[in-house]
Amino acid sequence: MNTKVLEIRKSLKKKLDPFRFEHTMGVAYTCQALAMRYEYDLHKAELAGLLHDCAKRFDNETMLSKCQKREIPMSDGELRDPSLLHAKLGAWYAKEKYGVEDQDILTAIECHTTGKKDMTLLDKILYVADYIEPGRYKASELPEMRKLAFIDLDLACLSIMESILKYLESTNCPIDTTTIDACEDMRRVVAEKQAAVQAVITVDQDTVSPTKEVNNDESVKRNGKNRRIRSGRQKRRRH
């Protein structure tokens, strides 16, 4: 076990309330499980999970003033719902207080609540892990999302984003433009992936169908050799 990880855990246990600490451990664990599945660096995934909610211990007023003091830029959405700021402030703490230099980890923490355009593998791992970690019980469609996360991470990401947007709309919560952009971008990613799969299926069918036609009349290339294929009628004539 890495000593830095042990130190971070110890510090978080002191600073976070017990529920948030348990959630944090669950997210770090789930980040590692997803990293195994999608062949990502386990240590980076664990650090992102451990530190993602490290700033989720301040009230909104305190977060606003801390962000102002540190000149962290705030969006309209964050000003309307400052609870969103725990992500940006968390990335600041991860760097300045916990000594994390790795920009991939810092970015994943910064976008873990809203998502963003062009999410990296680590961004998606953390975003999904935060939603499906074993301690979560309130989020909608959890069993389906948990299964999907280990089958198709992009699709899981999109399903979670759509579910969160639906919830925010239904409760009239102010929606940050980053949350909307993230969902639209993930829709594009999933659609492009599905189109690529469809293209492969179409090419496969095209390679198969000439064979069928050839079977009925002339020859087909098999194992690098042109072989004469007898049609059903020809075969019957032989017998």
Residues at the contact surface with ligand DGI, assessed by CB under 6 A: 23, 53, 56, 77, 81, 84, 112-114, 130, 164, 168, 173-176, 179
DSSP string computed for the chain:
--HHHHHHHHHHHHHS-HHHHHHHHHHHHHHHHHHHHTT--HHHHHHHHHHTTTTTTS-HHHHHHHHHHTT----HHHHHSGGGHHHHHHHHHHHHTT----HHHHHHHHTTTT--TT--HHHHHHHHHHHH-TT--SSTTHHHHHHHHTT-HHHHHHHHHHHHHHHHHHTTPPPPHHHHHHHHHHHHHHHHHHHHHHHHHHHHHHHHHHHHHHHHSSEEEETTEEEE---HHHHHHH-
- Ramachandran category for residue 118: left, alpha or beta (phi over 0 → left; psi -120 to 50 → alpha): left
Which lies closer to Fe ion via its Cβ, residue 28 or residue 186? 28
Q: Which does 175 bind (CB under 5 to 8 A by kind): Fe ion, ligand DGI, none?
A: ligand DGI
User: Does 130 contact Fe ion by CB under 5 A?
Assistant: yes
Question: Which residue lies nearer to ligand DGI by CB, 40 or 49?
Answer: 49
State which residue, 110 or 176, has the beta carbon closest to ligand DGI: 176
Q: What are phi and psi of 221, to 5 degrees?
A: -85, 120
Q: How far is the CB of 187 from ligand DGI (least distance, A)?
A: 16
Return the number of the residue (33 or 87) whose C-beta is nearest ligand DGI: 87
Q: Which residues pair with 211 in a beta bridge?
A: none
Residue closer to ligand DGI by CB (options 102, 181) is 181
Binds 78, which of ligand DGI, Fe ion, none (CB < 5 to 8 A, cut-off by type)? none
Site stretch for Fe ion (CB under 5 A), options 53-61, 143-151, 173-181, 227-235? 53-61
CB of 194 to Fe ion, least distance (A): 29
Task: Select from ligand DGI, Fe ion, none the partner in contact with residue 88, using the beta carbon and a kind-dependent cut-off of 5 to 8 Å.
Answer: none
Build a one-symbol-per-residue string for 173-212: x at contacts with Fe ion by CB under 5 A, - elsewhere: ----------------------------------------
User: Which lies closer to Fe ion via its Cβ, residue 130 or residue 176?
Assistant: 130
Q: Using CB under 5 A, list all residues that contact Fe ion.
A: 53, 130
